């Protein structure tokens, strides 16, 4: 089966003053896959993510989202349409601190869909149950939640508008290995049940090697993306060191 690309990045260049972060990045994200984005600190993983989301304007190059060029977002309402079709889980959760958990998940629904408050609440509860959160959490404020719960609420909020695709920025960072593994399971379960496409930035070797279908590595200001097995065996020295290091070996052995 030939899958279609939901996101296509072509010859992307990102430059801060004289410092070039990306120099000709090409990357496609295909339907229904889980793509892991890997790179050393400061190689521009978050910059790439922000460019794909349209939060940052690229120095040059093209980002096509669901077949439309994101660069022309100013002239038409393209981006607004996209925003209904993707969800984002920010690294720190980015929950609205003044709203309860339930209100956080209801916020995008009430903003975009003209339905009754009670129905929106039912949908929000559905989403929260889906990520494994019980009633106890619904009326708490973000400041009262543990790190793992914040990530789950943020994921429920990202899924509130039934997106076709979610971006996850370090979904398992700051979680203990057991919670991280549960979160990985959750991502996999949602992908299979909701037909989701997932792009995640991660340093968690376990999630990269267990749930991702493909890996995209940012090295030398470019992206090398391929099937998991191909990337793990890639001859590039940084990639070899990354996956061949002690921690990487422990993970492959476990898998």
Partner 1 sequence: MPQVIETPYFTYAITGDTGNFAMKGDWSILNLSQLESQVDALDLARSGTVAVDFQCGGLEQFDLSGAWLLYRTAERLRDKGLDTRFEGFRAEHLQFIEDVLNIEKSRPSSRPIRTIPKAIWDISTSAIRTFSRETHNRGLWFMAIGRGIISIVLNPRKFRWIATARHIQDAGISALGIVALMAFLVALVLGFQGRAQLAQLGAQIFTIDLVAISVLREMGGLLTAVLVAGRSGSAYAAEIGVMQLNEEVSAMETMGINPYETLIIPRMIALLICLPLLTFVADVAGLLGTLMMATTMLDLPASLAIDRFLSLDPFNHFRAGMIKAPFFALVIGMIGTYRGFFVERSADAVGRNTTAAVVESIFMVIAVDAMFSMLFTEIGW
Which residues contact partner 1 by CB under 8 A? 84, 97-98, 109, 113-116, 119, 122-123, 125-126, 129-130, 132, 134-136, 138-139, 141-143, 161-162, 193-194
Least Cβ distance, residue 132 to partner 1 (angstroms): 8
| CA atoms of 52 and 10, how far apart (whole Å) | 11
What 8-state DSSP symbol labels residue 97? T
Least Cβ distance, residue 116 to partner 1 (angstroms): 7
Which CB sits closer to partner 1, 115 or 250?
Answer: 115
| CA atoms of 180 and 77, how far apart (whole Å) | 37
Which residues, 6+ apart, have CB-to-CB distance to 76 below 8 Å?
none
Least Cβ distance, residue 4 to partner 1 (angstroms): 16
The answer to whether residues 170 and 91 touch, using CB atoms and an 8 Å cutoff, is yes
The answer to whether residues 40 and 238 touch, using CB atoms and an 8 Å cutoff, is yes
HSE, CB side, 13 Å, CA atoms: give it for residue 212: 30
Which CB sits closer to partner 1, 136 or 255?
Answer: 136
Across-strand partners of 87? 166
Which CB sits closer to partner 1, 57 or 162?
Answer: 162
Which CB sits closer to partner 1, 97 or 252?
Answer: 97
Least Cβ distance, residue 126 to partner 1 (angstroms): 6
Least Cβ distance, residue 54 to partner 1 (angstroms): 20
Question: Measuring CA to CA, how many Å separate 12 from each of 23, 67, 197?
Answer: 7, 16, 22
Which CB sits closer to partner 1, 76 or 195?
Answer: 195
């Amino acid at each position: 089966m030939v899958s279609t690309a939901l996101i296509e990045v072509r010859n992307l260049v990102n430059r801060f003053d004289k410092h070039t972060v990306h120099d000709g990045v090409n990357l496609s994200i295909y339907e229904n896959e889980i793509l892991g984005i890997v790179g050393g600190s400061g190689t521009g993983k978050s910059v790439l993510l922000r460019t794909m989301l349209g939060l940052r304007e690229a120095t040059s190059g093209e980002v096509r989202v669901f077949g439309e060029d994101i660069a022309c977002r100013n002239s038409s309402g393209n981006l607004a349409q996209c925003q209904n079709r993707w969800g984002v889980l920010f690294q720190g959760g980015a929950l609205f601190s003044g709203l309860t958990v339930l209100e956080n998940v209801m916020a995008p629904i009430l903003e975009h869909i003209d339905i009754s408050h009670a129905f929106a609440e039912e949908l929000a509860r559905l989403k929260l149950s889906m990520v494994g959160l019980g009633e106890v959490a619904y009326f708490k404020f973000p400041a009262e939640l543990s790190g793992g719960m914040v990530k789950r609420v943020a994921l429920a909020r990202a899924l509130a508008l039934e997106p076709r695709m979610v971006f996850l920025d370090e979904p398992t960072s700051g979680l203990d290995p057991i919670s991280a593994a549960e979160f990985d399971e959750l991502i996999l379960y949602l992908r299979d049940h909701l037909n989701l496409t997932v792009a995640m930035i991660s340093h968690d070797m376990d999630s990269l090697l267990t749930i991702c279908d493909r890996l995209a590595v940012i090295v030398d200001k470019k992206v090398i993306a391929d099937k998991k097995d191909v990337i793990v065996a890639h001859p590039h020295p940084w990639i070899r060191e990354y996956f061949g290091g002690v921690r990487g070996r422990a993970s492959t052995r476990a898998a």
